[in-house]
Each structure stands twice: as structure tokens, then as C-alpha cells.
């Protein structure tokens, strides 16, 4: 009797279809560019004949923050919906500059792959930003991009910040 119940339950589980991932064709995405890195405050060491005050300024600039871009999917067989794109996309921040005029590293850019036929709008908020998710339908929107074919180019959604200046401004132009 135990084997019969076991066989019946195994067959029932094989018949029930597994739920598939839902198809997402509309999505609100908040894009945030990375912040620029801080400039360094550094001074060179003195030689043996100069012993007063700090040395020459040799602080490097901070790296630029990363940007967020969107581009159409080139291959037609790739999954073409928005289920893999997160709701909030933040690019990497730039790193801090270093001494000896060494510049910080730039933040990485993020490229969102959009399906062909996508329309990208910029929402302009108004009034109080509390409960913004419920109020988004009444915001004014501006068309930024229309990916109607694979020949469309990359579109900038959020730009990264500039890196800070180091203290070597006398010797190095930004």
C-alpha cells in the first residue's frame, strides 16, 4: 500500500506544470549616476636643504563617476522583456585621488539592454515626493528614445559626476 501511494504522488508531481516567469513589458526604472571621487590632499617630502613648511602640493584628482546607458538588444533570440532589469540602477562611484598626482579610477558604466520597440520616457515630478509610486501616473513625461530597430544608438540615461580636484592645481590643469 505504501509503494502505491508513493508512485501515485510522484506521478501527480510530474503532471503539474511549473510556474513560468511572468512577461514584463512595462517597467519604471530609477537611474542614478555614480558620484565623482574626492581629490587628494597630499604634499611632497622636503629635501635636506628645505625644512620649513609643507612640501609642494602633489594631490591627484578624483575619478569620474559611472554613467547609465540604454541600448537595444542586437540579437533577436535573446529574451526581450524587462524582467531582468532592476527597478533602481546605480552606476559605480569614482575612487579617491592619491598622492604624487595619481588620479583616482573612474566608476564603471552600466549598459541596460532594452528590447527592440522600447520607448524610454523621462518622468518630471511635481509637488511632494511622498508616495511617489502612486503618483507617477500623473507626472508629465518626455520621450527620450525610441528603439524601433537594431541600428539605434546608445542613449545616456544618467550621467556620472566629475571627480574632485586635487591640491596640485598650480602644476596640473584639469
What's the pLDDT tens digit per position in 25-69?
Answer: 788 888 999 999 999 988 888 766 666 667 788 889 999 999 999
9-13, 76-80, 99-103, 137-141, range with the lowest pLDDT = 9-13
Inside any domain, residue 32: yes
Inside any domain, residue 93: yes
7-11, 24-28, 64-68, 103-107, range with the lowest pLDDT = 7-11
- Domain CATH for 37: 2.70.210.12
16-25, 65-74, 112-121, 130-139, range with the lowest pLDDT = 130-139
Burial class (CB in 10 A: 0-12, 13-18, 19+), 164: buried
Inside any domain, residue 164: no
Whether the Cβ atoms of residue 81 and residue 23 lie closer than 8 Å to each other: yes
d(CA 147, CA 118): 5
Per-residue pLDDT band for 141 (boundaries 50, 70, 90) equals confident
Inside any domain, residue 155: no
The mean per-residue pLDDT over the stretch 155-165 comes to 94
Domain that holds residue 53: 25-117
Instruction: List C-alpha distances in Å: 18 to 25, 90, 107.
Output: 22, 33, 41
Number of domains observed in the structure of the chain:
1
The structure's pTM equals 0.74
Per-residue pLDDT band for 107 (boundaries 50, 70, 90) equals very high
More confident residue, 110 or 55: 110
Q: Which residue has the cell 573612474?
A: 106
133, pLDDT greater than 90: no
Could you tell me whether strands 110-114 and 68-72 are parallel, antiparallel, or unpaired per DSSP bridges? parallel
Amino acid at each position: 500500500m505504501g509503494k502505491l501511494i508513493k508512485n501515485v504522488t510522484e506521478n501527480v508531481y510530474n503532471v503539474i506544470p511549473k510556474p513560468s516567469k511572468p512577461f514584463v513589458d512595462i517597467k519604471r526604472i530609477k537611474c542614478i549616476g555614480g558620484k565623482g571621487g574626492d581629490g587628494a590632499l597630499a604634499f611632497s617630502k622636503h629635501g635636506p636643504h628645505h625644512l620649513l613648511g609643507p612640501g609642494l602640493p602633489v594631490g591627484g584628482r578624483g575619478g569620474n563617476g559611472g554613467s547609465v546607458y540604454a541600448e537595444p538588444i542586437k540579437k533577436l533570440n535573446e529574451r526581450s522583456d524587462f524582467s531582468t532589469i532592476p527597478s533602481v540602477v546605480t552606476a559605480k562611484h569614482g575612487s579617491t585621488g592619491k598622492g604624487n598626482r595619481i588620479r583616482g579610477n573612474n566608476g564603471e558604466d552600466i549598459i541596460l539592454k532594452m528590447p527592440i520597440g522600447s520607448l524610454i520616457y523621462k518622468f518630471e515630478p511635481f509637488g511632494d515626493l511622498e508616495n511617489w509610486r502612486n503618483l507617477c501616473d500623473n507626472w508629465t513625461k518626455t520621450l527620450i528614445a525610441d528603439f524601433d530597430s537594431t541600428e539605434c544608438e546608445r542613449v545616456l540615461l544618467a550621467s556620472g559626476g566629475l571627480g574632485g580636484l586635487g591640491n596640485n592645481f598650480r602644476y596640473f590643469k584639469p
